């Protein structure tokens, strides 16, 4: 028996003798008058959670109770930090736990070993809320990019084995881990095993890794005391079974505990064949999202398994593309109408077998950018905070209706360290992207708790004039360029078209005419043009030479007056099994949305005689606002490259000019200037190395809170 456990039991026995407050019923032991949770004992094995049929159960008040998971995933990358630089403040975690608990959630999930302060805070919170503790889903994250794409390589297995030992010891408060790069370390003396709902093994495995592991290890199988495999199992599934078995074996041998264990997967590896994921060669194996499989039905329980086994899946409504393209999902209806997401949930659970299934990641991202469109409107980004909350509730209802053991929302905080395939090439240098918030990156805006920049109270640029615009104030923060146009009192602009030119760099390059046919030129070349219109909607346009939607990345001098919409490809063209094509889809990146600046969805609003405009840095081809870098790469590209490929240049600042046109298209006002537009001072904003931000529960928080309250 582990020395620390033995000493703890001796101490507990002494307390029982001295205080007379500890008693045993034979099936569980509980300390009266304390906030310690009940623990079920079967033989010498302790448990607080188990799977039962297709559900999870927890042990409370001397009985097993069904437990529907109402959870939230917790990433820890606060602004200015990367994923593995965890907060080391108990107070930070306790504050978040209080907010999560008040949202009526009952579970949190973390992806890897946390800092010791995290577990101290969790135990303190749960002891303070004994009737509604937050249960922990603890993932054991295997290293990415195994050598040779081979999970079963000896060195890779040894590394994962060590990480499992660290994890189990730490959760039992019995670990001292030396400093190490990219992983948590420290002295772990807090035992949170009574609050552990289960271990999650794996991650979103890449199809090429699964295929390569299977090809390099033909005939490999696994049979342990806790987990084993069917004859049809693949070597990659054997690798997962080995991990699950090792966790259970190590924990029981050293601590006399068992907790449920789960594999982690995603729809890309589901066992179903999707007719919308083929290619022009008629080969399924060439399609990334349907080329490899991990099937939980190939896993069997060993003779020593008591706590149980389940599957954890990351299921979103907008990716992979077959979520959008499979016609059969159109048939699924709920009280609000069609819900393709529910159609996938229904099909997946029907083939899942006898084990419980947890939707371990699902959610919707707020912000101004969309990386995948959904026919039902549940896009990969670009949602309002109200839409985020209402969509999460609707998906959670489908999760419960279709018989899953629960759902875990992605995610608790906005993480500036994240990236999306549509934005990764344009955050340069990549190492500095944690210092600013990309408002058009969906992955940075999934949080229920906003981590948002704060507009300065005082502008850092003021330009006065005597036309329709009497003053322009400009400022910046970690997310936006702000322009506040103060109009003359009572100025009527509703019947006018308003053009605002933005010269973001290189005064001698860019477009010098606001519109084709207008006999008015700008004092410097514009890369972007804002059209403020009450008829056609407001838009941000760009010059053809600087339109990233058309793979153009460097401003060039022009006097044509031609500006284009920015349309970025977000859904690739697909091929059905019958050879028919599914068209690509493009984001309408030029649209500027009207609404208040609470949250990150809206671009402009009018407040009396002030028009407030904000444009996210990513829309202006600013690759790093903290060091004033902008995109400037004249090379030819046929597709979007990887990170840190594009050339950039440091800008001297932004020049803003403006025109008003009447219904006939005649210029009736210039800014700045009276008879013509004159060159204004350049606005050079200050850079930064230490980002400022504030925390704010999004408007989705209360919507989720109210719904979670109805789930018992």
Please indicate, yes or no, if residue 439 is contained in any of the structural domains. Answer: no
Looking at the fold, whether 406 and 479 belong to one and the same domain comes out as no
The pLDDT-based confidence of 208 (bands split at 50, 70, 90) is: very high
Is the pLDDT assigned to residue 111 strictly greater than 90? Answer: yes
Our measurement of the distance from residue 207's CA atom to the centroid of its chain's CA atoms, rounded to an integer in Å, reads: 21
Looking at the fold, whether 382 and 481 belong to one and the same domain comes out as no
The mean of the pLDDT values for the chain is 92
Q: pLDDT for 77-90, tens place per residue?
A: 999 999 989 999 99
Q: pLDDT for 182-201, tens place per residue?
A: 899 999 999 999 999 999 99
Is the pLDDT assigned to residue 409 strictly greater than 60? Answer: yes
Q: pLDDT for 360-391, tens place per residue?
A: 999 999 999 999 999 999 999 999 999 999 99
Please indicate, yes or no, if residue 667 is contained in any of the structural domains. Answer: yes
**What spatial distance separates the first Cα and last Cα of the chain, rounded to whole Å?**
38
Q: pLDDT for 20-60, tens place per residue?
A: 222 222 233 333 335 778 999 999 999 999 999 999 999 99
Domain span including residue 478 = 454-671
SS3 content of the chain, % helix, strand, coil (to 5): 25, 30, 45
The pLDDT-based confidence of 298 (bands split at 50, 70, 90) is: very high
Looking at the fold, whether 63 and 93 belong to one and the same domain comes out as yes
Please indicate, yes or no, if residue 426 is contained in any of the structural domains. Answer: no
Looking at the fold, whether 29 and 106 belong to one and the same domain comes out as no
Looking at the fold, whether 238 and 295 belong to one and the same domain comes out as yes
pLDDT of residue 282: 65
pLDDT of residue 451: 98
* pTM reported for the whole predicted model: 0.93
The pLDDT-based confidence of 677 (bands split at 50, 70, 90) is: confident
**3-class secondary structure for 410-447?**
CCCECCCCCCCCCCHHHCCCHHHHHHCCCCCCHHHHCC
Is the pLDDT assigned to residue 7 strictly greater than 70? Answer: no
pLDDT of residue 31: 34
Q: What is the number of other CB atoms lying within 10 angstroms of the CB of residue 31?
A: 16
- And the tokens for 299? 């896993």
pLDDT of residue 536: 61
**Average pLDDT of span 638-660:** 96
Q: What are phi and psi of 83, to 5 degrees?
A: -60, -35
pLDDT of residue 26: 29
Lowest-pLDDT range, 12-21, 318-327, 683-692? 12-21
Report the share of the chain in percent with pLDDT over 70: 94
pLDDT of residue 283: 60
Looking at the fold, whether 383 and 485 belong to one and the same domain comes out as no
pLDDT of residue 287: 73
Looking at the fold, whether 273 and 310 belong to one and the same domain comes out as yes
Residue 99 sits in a domain whose CATH number is 3.20.20.80
Q: pLDDT for 259-291, tens place per residue?
A: 999 999 999 999 999 998 887 776 656 678 888
The pLDDT-based confidence of 10 (bands split at 50, 70, 90) is: very low
**Average pLDDT of span 516-526:** 94
What is the domain count for the chain? Answer: 3
Q: pLDDT for 591-619, tens place per residue?
A: 999 999 999 999 999 999 999 999 999 99
Please indicate, yes or no, if residue 683 is contained in any of the structural domains. Answer: no
Looking at the fold, whether 361 and 481 belong to one and the same domain comes out as no
Contact 516, 561 (CB under 8 A): yes
Please indicate, yes or no, if residue 139 is contained in any of the structural domains. Answer: yes
Rounded Cα–Cα distance for residues 166 and 179 (Å) = 13
Looking at the fold, whether 344 and 394 belong to one and the same domain comes out as yes
Can you tell me whether residue 100 is helix, strand or coil? helix
Burial class for 603, CB neighbours closer than 10 Å (0-12, 13-18, 19+): buried
Alpha carbon dihedral 633, 639, 644, 645, in 10-degree steps, equals -50
Report the share of the chain in percent with pLDDT over 90: 86
Please indicate, yes or no, if residue 443 is contained in any of the structural domains. Answer: no
By C-alpha distance, which of 368, 285, 277, 282 is closest to 324? 277
Alpha carbon dihedral 184, 186, 192, 195, in 10-degree steps, equals -10
Helix runs in 503-626, H state only = none
Please indicate, yes or no, if residue 449 is contained in any of the structural domains. Answer: no
Looking at the fold, whether 485 and 552 belong to one and the same domain comes out as yes
Is the pLDDT assigned to residue 206 strictly greater than 80? Answer: yes
Can you tell me whether residue 387 is helix, strand or coil? helix
pLDDT of residue 9: 35
Looking at the fold, whether 190 and 323 belong to one and the same domain comes out as yes
Please indicate, yes or no, if residue 688 is contained in any of the structural domains. Answer: no
Rounded Cα–Cα distance for residues 346 and 398 (Å) = 9
Looking at the fold, whether 26 and 144 belong to one and the same domain comes out as no
């Amino acid at each position: 028996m582990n020395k620390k456990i033995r000493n703890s039991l001796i101490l507990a026995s002494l307390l029982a003798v001295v205080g007379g407050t500890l008693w045993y019923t034979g099936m569980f032991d509980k300390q009266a008058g304390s906030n310690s949770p009940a623990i079920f004992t079967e033989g010498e094995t302790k448990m607080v959670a188990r799977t039962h049929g297709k559900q999870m159960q927890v042990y409370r008040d001397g009985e097993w109770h069904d437990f529907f998971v109402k959870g939230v995933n917790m990433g820890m990358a606060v602004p200015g930090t990367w994923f593995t630089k965890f907060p080391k403040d108990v107070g930070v975690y306790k504050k978040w736990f209080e907010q999560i608990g008040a949202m009526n959630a009952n579970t949190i999930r973390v992806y890897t070993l946390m800092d010791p302060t995290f577990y101290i805070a969790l135990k303190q919170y749960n002891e303070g809320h004994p009737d509604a503790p937050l249960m922990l889903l603890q993932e054991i994250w295997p290293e990415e990019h195994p050598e040779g794409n081979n999970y079963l390589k000896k060195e890779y297995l040894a590394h994962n084995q060590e990480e499992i030992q660290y994890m189990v010891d730490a959760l039992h408060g019995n670990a001292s881990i030396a400093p190490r790069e990219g992983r948590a370390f420290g002295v772990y003396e807090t035992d949170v095993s009574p609050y552990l709902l289960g271990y999650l093994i794996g991650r979103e495995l890449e199809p090429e890794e699964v295929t390569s592991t299977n090809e390099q290890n033909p005939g490999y199988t696994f049979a342990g005391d806790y987990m084993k495999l069917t004859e049809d199992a693949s070597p990659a599934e054997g690798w997962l079974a080995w991990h699950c078995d090792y966790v259970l074996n190590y924990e029981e041998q050293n601590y006399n505990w068992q907790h449920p264990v789960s594999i982690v997967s995603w729809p890309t590896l589901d066992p179903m064949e999707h007719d919308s994921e083929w290619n022009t060669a008629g080969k399924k194996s060439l399609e990334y999202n349907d080329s490899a499989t991990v099937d939980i039905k190939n896993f069997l329980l060993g003779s020593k398994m008591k706590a149980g086994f389940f599957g954890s899946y990351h299921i979103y409504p907008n990716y992979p593309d077959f979520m959008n393209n499979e016609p059969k999902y159109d048939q699924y209806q709920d009280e609000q109408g069609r819900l393709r997401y529910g159609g996938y949930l229904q099909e997946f659970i029907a083939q899942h077998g006898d084990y419980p299934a947890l939707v371990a990641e699902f959610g919707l991202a707020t912000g101004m950018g969309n990386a995948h469109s959904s026919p039902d409107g549940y896009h990969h980004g670009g949602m309002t905070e109200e839409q985020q909350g209402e969509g999460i509730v609707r998906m959670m209802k489908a999760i419960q209706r279709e018989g899953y053991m629960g759902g875990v929302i992605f995610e608790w905080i906005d993480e500036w360290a994240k990236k999306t395939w549509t934005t990764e090439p344009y955050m340069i240098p990549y190492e500095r992207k944690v210092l600013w918030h990309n408002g058009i990156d969906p992955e940075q805006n999934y949080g229920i708790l906003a981590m948002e920049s704060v507009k300065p109270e005082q502008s850092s640029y003021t330009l006065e004039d005597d036309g329709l615009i009497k003053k322009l104030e400009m400022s910046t923060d970690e997310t936006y360029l702000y322009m506040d146009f103060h109009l003359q009192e009572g100025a009527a602009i509703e019947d006018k078209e308003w053009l605002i030119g933005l010269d973001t760099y290189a005064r001698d390059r860019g477009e010098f005419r606001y519109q084709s046919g207008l006999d008015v030129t700008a004092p410097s070349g514009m890369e972007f043009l804002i059209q403020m219109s009450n008829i056609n909607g407001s838009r941000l346009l760009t010059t053809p030479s600087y339109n990233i939607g058309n793979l153009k990345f460097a401003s060039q001098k022009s006097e044509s007056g031609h500006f284009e919409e920015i349309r970025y490809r977000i859904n690739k063209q697909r091929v059905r099994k019958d050879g028919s094509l599914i068209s690509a889809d493009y984001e309408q990146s030029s649209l500027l949305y009207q609404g208040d600046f609470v949250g990150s969805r809206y671009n402009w609003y009018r407040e009396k005689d002030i028009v407030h405009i904000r444009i996210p840095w990513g829309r202006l081809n600013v690759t790093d606002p903290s060091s004033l870098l902008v995109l400037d790469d004249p090379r030819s590209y046929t597709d979007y490259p990887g990170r840190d490929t594009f050339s950039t240049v440091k800008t001297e600042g932004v020049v803003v000019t403006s025109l008003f046109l009447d219904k006939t298209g005649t210029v009736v006002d210039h800014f700045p200037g009276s008879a013509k537009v004159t060159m204004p001072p350049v606005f050079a904003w200050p850079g930064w190395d230490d980002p400022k931000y504030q925390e704010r529960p999004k408007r989705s928080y209360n919507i989720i809170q109210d719904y979670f309250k109805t789930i018992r």
